[in-house]
Amino acid sequence: MKMNGAGGVLCPVCGIELHAGLASTPDHIFEEHGFRVTEGRREGYNCRVFGCMAPYNSYRSWKRHTEAVHLRNRFDFNDGGAVGLVLIDAAAHMGVQDPNQENAGVNLEAADQGNLNADIAEEDDNNFEERDLSYNSLETLPNGMKDIKHAAARMVVNMRSVAAMTRVGVQRAMHGAEQVLKVSNMTLKEEVGSYLTSINRVNTRQAQDLLRKFDNTTPFDGMKSNRGQISAIERYYHFLKPRTLPVRERLERRLGDEGVLRQVPVTSTFEYVSPIDICKLVWRKTVVNDYVTSRRPSEDGILYGYTDASQFRNHEFFQRYPNAYQLALYYDGVSTTRPLGPKEGLYELGNFSISILNMPPGINATLSGIHPVVLANVQDCKGTFEDVLYLLRDDLIRLANGVDMFLDGNFVEIRGALVAVKGDNKALHELLGYLACGARFFCRLCMITRQQLHSGEVILGERRTVEMFNNHLQEVDQNQANSSRCGLRCRTVLHDLPFFHALNNECSDLMHDGAEGVTLMLIRLCLKDLVCREEPVFDSAALNLRIAGFNFGYQNARDMPSPNFSDESLANADKVHKQKSNAGQTMTLHRALPFLLDSIGGTGIPEDHAPSQMLIVLSKIYEISSAHQIPKKMIPYLRRLLEAFHRSWYIVFPGVNPINKFHHLQHIPDNILAMGPQRQFWCFREEGKNCPIKRHITVTNNFINPCKTTMEEAQIYQARVWGTSSDDIQEELSFVSKRTVAVSTLPASSLLQSLGFAANYDVTVATAVFCNGYKFRVGEFLLCVKASDTEEKSTPHQFGKILSIICPGGTDKIWFAVEAWETCGLVERYNAYQVKLGNDQEVNGSSFLAFTMEELAVNFPTLIYGEKVKIMQISQSLKEPQLSSRGTLFQAYLNEDGVLVRTDRSSGSDAQLFHKAPCVSASFFRDTTSFEVAETSLTDPATVTPLDVLQILSQSDLGEQVIDFQNEKRYSEKHHKISIAKGIVEAFPELADTGDCPWTSWYDYATVQFSNSK
């Protein structure tokens, strides 16, 4: 329910202000509009506004529906409005899910946080509808019927692929499903038997055979045990069964038969899945096969992936086999029993997984694109890692030499090579044979020392070479004490691979080095400089209040920063660089911090505040480094940004030593040229893949052999996605609050009618839609047109707001009704774009010319009197209104490469490539920066000289009588009060009220409203 400036509530049907508040809304609607909003069936009621019969479950959801649909359609939209259509092909969409949705930097005013949380809560209700296309993929029996055993196995896979599901829970679900199926079959049997009896056919042989078929209600036979479930999954899916292999003998305390704890030798094991089997499993999908075989290095100067980088172009293996798989290995320690404190290390697991870089980006954006290969106890992951990685090494060597696979009646050869190893710095140093991160030579790519880092003498040290690396290893083999002179510890098992070397692992992890490192450190130092000074700009309590009340947008709802800053913790920011915040929260806070600090403390931070300017520079560095596609011509600019950031650090923070991750950022430009966009090497998705492991161990409470339990669950999840016979490996299309409405009620009704839809034609609309792992919502902003800079014309980014999501005919085509917004420019102090509605949407545009004063009073009750008069003056002065010449109607679709392509509605020809990043959340305050526009600025009250009213009134007897009543809140009922009100209206007719008493607002003090004219 909307609130006006005075605190009243507006009726969602007619828009009239209700001074009694929210409690009076149901009574007002019943008395004025003839229906009660709470009546109806137990599960909800129909809307019934303007004849709408849309069902709703709660009063809150009905209010938002009324405001968004009926009020908007009745008052806001017109045929000449800036509304367009964007077409999304759900089958071809390859959009990449971005955990950091702030990159486009739209500066927009959005709904408050309470409405945001209400939207999230409602969408998690029963309004979620998922399109089920799995029936057709069930196996068909010889009699033409679908295999019910296959459906039962699918049910088991769907349940066991969830980390929070235990085996006991699956068994109980199967038992409940059998009971439901049995009751349903018995009911159908009685009805069929009654019908056969009525036609005297119940005793025939065919009838008895038919009735006996209803007794077969045991589709889960043989699936009650874990072994039976795995057998059923192997029967209907390509399931990669993990192998359990021994590592060493260890002693554990076990309870003996006498009830006494004893030290018992136990074999330590690890779980292993071959990467060869993973590559064969992936190769079965035609969409993957076609993409890999057609991918070639780009010739347009843009880096799209590893295939376009210098390593691939100069790689001996990939020059001979360009269609080979590009494998990236990830390693991290997963703590499964964090509450145990010091003993948690005994149960920490070493998780190794593989991802394929040359896969379709839509697949690599999901967790199913990460394939676990080794899961072992972290106590066994030491030294050269040969104890747990020897099988992985042997299989990678075989894969590089080529393995044969029989597919569709032919033998195909599959090859692949390891090109990258990623993880946090601790894991990489251990796995690649370097000393710990605290060593003197801490960098894996150059020979810079810690003293040089702290002094700022050099940006990059001497580059490590293969010859230098091998000489250092020989020195370390001769004497382990030489490790401190080179930073190497041992020769890792991965160096046995023919086409991999640690020095070629030129990848930067922007999650650990950026969000969990430099970004968090710089934020704390910036806040310390503003809070812990002699005259603080603000205190930590004010900052926490702003963080708690800030609208971060729906897409960042799960990564909202915690308001946990304190003056004591910030005072120690130069020594302690950590904050209770994960990487996603830190990135969200970094992007929103310029808006949070705007006008804080009354005046805001100074424009020349150096730490804040460094945050903006770091934001620009991340925007380039984390982009999906990076033009090579941007690399010099990125180098200059990094050099400026490096020099500024030692000037702004002379007493603060930078951390190792500060130096790792300086290698980003070279790493991008060598291995492509660094976004493909950050660990956000892999860290997310660790969560099911922790969750499943906690739920099952299994700490005897957690590796076996969790690896089996992980492979069932992979089988659910990759193990089916279908080529479709994307998530099914799903909708939120899906309903059917007439074309005439939609914002883009005129455009839909021009495309062939009749005004009374019913189309399906939704509040939100899930498409390939990404959620599009009504009210969010799309980056519709990418900026272009040519010799003929330079155009900025064009943003649009989603007004409606349309699914015509229930097809896979999704249409977005988009309202085009005009880009005002980039605001440097926010590093964000400011947008506004087009000229034909402003108060001096043609949209307002048809309004009369009565329509303004009814349809815009929140406008104060002076604003209404100003609107009428502008509309009357425009005698020949001209529609905006700016084209705002457009339509587009996503092609097979995941690129949004604009089409001309009249000719249907492809016109322009769109930006790949799909959606931007309306998540920031409205920018207060003044831009040059046609209208004049608002009058500044501080510059206006006050009128000496008392002197003027004291010149007459009537004025003296007015002075006697000036301290009263309401004038007395005397003739001079009415006389003054009538005199004002007579002297200034444009200030008169409508109706029989045009001077009422000047007579009654409570209704007089003053405003600044433009």
pLDDT of residue 23: 55
Tell me the per-residue pLDDT of 787-829, one tens digit each, with 9 for 90 and over. Answer: 776 656 677 888 888 888 887 665 557 788 888 888 888 888 8
For tokens 């480094």, what's the residue? 625
Taking the C-alpha atoms of residue 136 and residue 754, their distance in angstroms, rounded to an integer, is: 35
Element (H, E) at 836: strand 832-837
Amino acid (1-letter code) at residue 499: F
What percent of the chain has a predicted confidence (pLDDT) above 70?
68
Radius of gyration of the chain (CA): 34
Residue 735 pLDDT more than 90? no
Q: Please, is 202 exposed, middle or buried when counting C-beta atoms within 10 Å of its C-beta (0-12, 13-18, 19+)?
A: middle
Residue 396 pLDDT more than 90? yes
Residue 367 pLDDT more than 60? yes
Which ranges in 577-732 belong to alpha helices (H)? Answer: 583-596, 610-625, 635-652, 660-664, 668-675, 684-700, 706-722
**Number of C-alpha atoms within 13 angstroms, CB side, residue 225?**
4
- The answer to which of 8-12, 227-231, 605-609 has the lowest mean pLDDT is 8-12
- The answer to which of 111-120, 650-659, 691-700, 726-735 has the lowest mean pLDDT is 111-120
* pTM assigned to the model: 0.70
Residue 519 pLDDT more than 70? yes
Strand partners for 334: 349
Ranked by mean pLDDT, the top range of 143-147, 699-703, 714-718 is: 714-718
Amino acid (1-letter code) at residue 70: H
919 in Cβ contact with 780 (< 8 Å): yes
- The answer to which of 46-55, 667-676, 790-799, 981-990 has the lowest mean pLDDT is 46-55
1003 in Cβ contact with 995 (< 8 Å): no
What percent of the chain has a predicted confidence (pLDDT) above 90?
31
Taking the C-alpha atoms of residue 548 and residue 561, their distance in angstroms, rounded to an integer, is: 8
- Show the 3-state SS of 304-349: CCHHHCHHHHHCHHHHHCCCCEEEEEEEEEECCCHHHHHHHHHHCE
Listed residue (914, 755, 889) closest to 84, CA to CA: 889
Residue 129 pLDDT more than 80? no
Amino acid (1-letter code) at residue 708: K
**Per-residue tokens: 191:** 């009805």
Q: What is the mean pLDDT of residues 724-736?
A: 73
Listed residue (814, 661, 670, 840) closest to 734, CA to CA: 814
Taking the C-alpha atoms of residue 824 and residue 796, their distance in angstroms, rounded to an integer, is: 9
Residue 98 pLDDT more than 70? no
How does DSSP assign 449-488, residue by residue?
-HHHHHHT--SS-PBP-HHHHHHHHHHHHH-GGGGGGTSB
Q: What is the mean pLDDT of residues 25-44?
A: 56
Contacts of 813 (CB under 8 A, 6+ apart): 87, 88, 89, 90, 807, 893
Band the pLDDT of 449: cuts 50, 70, 90. Answer: very high
Taking the C-alpha atoms of residue 32 and residue 287, their distance in angstroms, rounded to an integer, is: 59
Strand partners for 620: none
Q: What is the mean pLDDT of residues 399-425?
A: 90
pLDDT of residue 99: 33
Q: Other CB atoms closer than 10 Å to residue 108's CB: what's the count?
A: 24
Residue 109 pLDDT more than 50? no
Q: What is the mean pLDDT of residues 629-635?
A: 92
57-63's contacts with Cβ under 8 Å and 24+ in sequence apart are 57/125, 57/126, 57/127, 58/122, 60/118, 60/122, 61/122, 61/127, 62/37, 63/1, 63/12
Q: Other CB atoms closer than 10 Å to residue 874's CB: what's the count?
A: 17
Burial 436-458 (b: 16+ CB within 10 A, else e): eeebebbbbbbbbbbeebeeeee
pLDDT of residue 762: 83
Taking the C-alpha atoms of residue 43 and residue 58, their distance in angstroms, rounded to an integer, is: 9
Q: What is the mean pLDDT of residues 370-398?
A: 93
139 in Cβ contact with 147 (< 8 Å): yes
Contacts of 248 (CB under 8 A, 6+ apart): 267, 268, 380, 387
In terms of pLDDT, which residue wins out, 145 or 912?
A: 145
pLDDT of residue 1008: 36
Mean pLDDT of the chain: 76
pLDDT of residue 414: 93
pLDDT of residue 850: 44
pLDDT of residue 145: 72
In terms of pLDDT, which residue wins out, 347 or 192?
A: 192
Band the pLDDT of 863: cuts 50, 70, 90. Answer: low
pLDDT of residue 851: 44
Taking the C-alpha atoms of residue 921 and residue 103, their distance in angstroms, rounded to an integer, is: 10
Tell me the per-residue pLDDT of 267-291, one tens digit each, with 9 for 90 and over. Answer: 889 999 999 999 999 998 888 888 9
Q: Other CB atoms closer than 10 Å to residue 794's CB: what's the count?
A: 9
Band the pLDDT of 418: cuts 50, 70, 90. Answer: very high
Band the pLDDT of 928: cuts 50, 70, 90. Answer: very low
Q: What is the mean pLDDT of residues 613-626?
A: 93
Contacts of 199 (CB under 8 A, 6+ apart): none
Q: How far is CA 1010 from CA 770, 835, 947, 1005, in A?
A: 48, 29, 15, 11
Residue 603 pLDDT more than 60? yes
9 in Cβ contact with 3 (< 8 Å): yes
Burial 61-100 (b: 16+ CB within 10 A, else e): bbbbbbbbbbbeeeeebeeebbbbbbbbbbebbbbbbbbb
Taking the C-alpha atoms of residue 615 and residue 591, their distance in angstroms, rounded to an integer, is: 9
Strands 832-837 and 106-107, bridge-based pairing: parallel
Residue 523 pLDDT more than 90? yes
Q: What is the mean pLDDT of residues 463-470?
A: 93
In terms of pLDDT, which residue wins out, 397 or 861?
A: 397
Helix (H, G, I), strand (E, B) or coil at 434: strand
Element (H, E) at 245: strand 243-255
Amino acid (1-letter code) at residue 692: P
Q: What is the mean pLDDT of residues 369-398?
A: 92
Band the pLDDT of 520: cuts 50, 70, 90. Answer: very high
Band the pLDDT of 405: cuts 50, 70, 90. Answer: confident
Residue 645 pLDDT more than 90? yes
pLDDT of residue 94: 31
pLDDT of residue 918: 33
pLDDT of residue 732: 60
Taking the C-alpha atoms of residue 464 and residue 445, their distance in angstroms, rounded to an integer, is: 6
952 in Cβ contact with 135 (< 8 Å): no
Q: How far is CA 613 from CA 522, 641, 831, in A?
A: 11, 12, 10
pLDDT of residue 17: 63
Q: Other CB atoms closer than 10 Å to residue 501's CB: what's the count?
A: 13
Taking the C-alpha atoms of residue 773 and residue 365, their distance in angstroms, rounded to an integer, is: 8
Helix (H, G, I), strand (E, B) or coil at 606: coil
Contacts of 979 (CB under 8 A, 6+ apart): 958
Band the pLDDT of 263: cuts 50, 70, 90. Answer: confident
802 in Cβ contact with 777 (< 8 Å): yes
pLDDT of residue 782: 82
Tell me the per-residue pLDDT of 888-905, one tens digit each, with 9 for 90 and over. Answer: 333 444 444 444 444 443
Taking the C-alpha atoms of residue 1 and residue 111, their distance in angstroms, rounded to an integer, is: 12
Q: Please, is 35 exposed, middle or buried when counting C-beta atoms within 10 Å of its C-beta (0-12, 13-18, 19+)?
A: middle
pLDDT of residue 130: 47
Taking the C-alpha atoms of residue 464 and residue 462, their distance in angstroms, rounded to an integer, is: 6
Residue 864 pLDDT more than 60? no
Band the pLDDT of 668: cuts 50, 70, 90. Answer: very high
Band the pLDDT of 724: cuts 50, 70, 90. Answer: confident
Tell me the per-residue pLDDT of 745-762, one tens digit each, with 9 for 90 and over. Answer: 887 788 778 777 788 888
Q: How far is CA 312 from CA 160, 321, 418, 499, in A?
A: 39, 11, 12, 12
In terms of pLDDT, which residue wins out, 228 or 54?
A: 228
